Amino acid sequence: MDSFVEQLKRGTEEEFTEESVWDGSAVNTTSSSLPAIYLPLLPRNLRHPTTRGRKATEFQETKKACLNYIQDALLQHQWQRAAEFMTNYLETLENTSAEKRMAAPEVIWRIGTEILCHHSKSSIEEFNYFAEQMKNLGVKRYLKVCLEHVFHLLCNGLIDEAYQNLSLAEGWRYGEQTTAQDKELKLIQAYKGLLDYYNWTKKRTAMLELDGNFADSVEQEMHSFFRQAAVNLREIIKIPGVWDPFVKSYVDLLEFYEDYDEVRQVLSEYAYNSKFPPNPNAHVYYYQFLKRQGESKKTLMSVLKILHEIVPSHELMLDICQLQKSKLQILQICFTPRLHSQEGKISDSEEICEETQLCPFESIWCFGFLHASLMFTRCL
């Protein structure tokens, strides 16, 4: 395990040494016994004699075989064996093929992270060093590596360190900001907002336990965390996607400060905006909010009806029993098959379904089979 990290340090130092030597006539390289040729107008891959072409091919074949050995060790959870092969695979960063040299940092990052997360002798210090090297090795992956580094810190309970890394990543810029970088940056800000929400909940608990001037000072700190969290969480949930943890945190913040109109707008948009992917939890959050607000049965039924179309077996379908007026109709819906007459007319059971605004027997089989005893208990 130590050799893996030491090899990474040594390889990084050699790479920077080779690139920094610039005397106008030659480049100092240790990878070839032949003298290197440097011409200012030639690209880097043409600075060496053409006799190295066959060696480069052998080099690529060797590293490909080494990668296969690493993958085999990972599949068998042989982390020490994978780390030993990894020390040799780091040389792929010196590949003469530009395409393979560009892809190498991604492979090293993915495999190295997997090894360090599972190796019995791995330490948080080694993982931090490896993550920092990966951030500097490829600027296009900087924000992705930062996120994975933050996740590892959070899994180890290092919340302050994770927040500090998110703050640094939030201020990172490189060249013109692309669409991909913009999305990754919003994700960085969203997780930073999630940690702000975590700090806000801690301050809220502390404020409830204190009195007087101490409570006032804690309330000011709490409100500061609220502003920071609200700004970042609000931005991420505007992007189409599944953002359940962020939505729940944002709703909790707004409800504490009694901004119910904003909560209603956020949850309605999250549940019914066609640009967002179908998400049963979005309808669950909206239904639970409306229930807390004491909305009418008709409004609650309309939300449950849409949830029923997405997940007919959801546990909230049992709430329909409490919202329906006629218990006999519920039993008929749940235990009467859907039948059609020879003339193609809809059967009586389906007419009952239309009256109660519920779907036919097949689509709510969960009532009759999964919750039969509970249905009889509630309805009889």
- 143-146: long-range contacts, CB 8 A cutoff, minimum separation 24: 143/169, 143/172, 143/181, 143/184, 143/185, 143/187, 143/188, 144/184, 145/109, 146/172, 146/188
DSSP letter (8 states) at residue 380? -
Q: CB-based contacts of 221: which residues, under 8 Å, 6+ apart?
A: 203
Type of residue numbered 362: E
Q: CB-based contacts of 352: which residues, under 8 Å, 6+ apart?
A: 329, 332, 333, 336
Q: How many CB atoms lie within 10 A of CB 286?
A: 23
Name the pTM for this structure. Answer: 0.68
Per-residue pLDDT of the chain (380 residues; tens, 9 = 90+): 555 555 555 554 544 444 443 344 333 434 444 444 443 443 454 444 444 444 457 777 888 888 889 999 999 999 999 998 888 888 777 766 667 767 778 888 888 989 998 888 888 999 999 888 888 876 678 888 999 999 999 999 999 999 999 999 888 877 666 777 788 889 999 999 999 999 999 988 888 777 666 677 788 888 889 999 999 999 999 999 999 999 999 999 999 999 999 999 999 999 999 999 999 999 999 999 999 999 888 899 889 889 988 888 888 888 877 777 655 555 544 554 444 433 444 444 443 343 344 443 333 334 333 444 443 344 44
Q: Cβ distance 192 to 163 under 8 Å?
A: yes
Q: Cβ distance 283 to 267 under 8 Å?
A: no
